[in-house]
């Protein structure tokens, strides 16, 4: 998948992969339509950071969820 292009489809893909990796319980809180392409670079950074981690602590998970919440439109 080419994530260099700022498209709603890429946003949806990244959000889904982040939710899968974090095993988020409240998945309705993180819908791709809640994010705009204006925050694409920040979202891409979060996606890359989450995907390269093998283990994510509960504190890190909470911080990531808070950051994603701040990126919502």
pLDDT in tens, the chain (73 residues): 789 999 999 999 999 999 888 887 666 667 888 888 888 999 999 999 999 999 889 899 888 888 888 888 7
Structure tokens at 24: 């988020």
Q: Answer yes or no: pTM beyond 0.85.
A: no
Give the Å distances, CA to CA, from 18 to 14, 62, 71: 6, 13, 14
User: For residue 2, is it within any domain?
Assistant: no
Interhelix angle 40-52/58-71, rounded to 10 degrees, is 160
**Per-residue model confidence (pLDDT) at position 27:** 62
Q: How far is CA 62 from the centre of its chain?
A: 13
How many domains, in total, are found in the chain?
A: 1
User: For residue 20, is it within any domain?
Assistant: yes
**Per-residue model confidence (pLDDT) at position 37:** 87
User: For residue 14, is it within any domain?
Assistant: yes
User: For residue 27, is it within any domain?
Assistant: yes
User: For residue 34, is it within any domain?
Assistant: yes
Structural domain containing residue 49: 8-71
User: For residue 12, is it within any domain?
Assistant: yes
**Per-residue model confidence (pLDDT) at position 25:** 60
User: For residue 1, is it within any domain?
Assistant: no
User: For residue 40, is it within any domain?
Assistant: yes
């Amino acid at each position: 998948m080419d994530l260099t292009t700022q498209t709603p489809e890429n946003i949806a893909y990244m959000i889904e992969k982040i939710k899968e990796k974090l095993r988020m319980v409240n998945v309705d809180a993180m819908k791709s339509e809640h994010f705009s392409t204006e925050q694409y670079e920040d979202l891409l950074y979060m996606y890359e950071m989450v995907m390269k981690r093998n283990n994510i602590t509960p504190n890190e998970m909470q911080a990531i969820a808070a950051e994603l919440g701040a990126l919502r439109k």
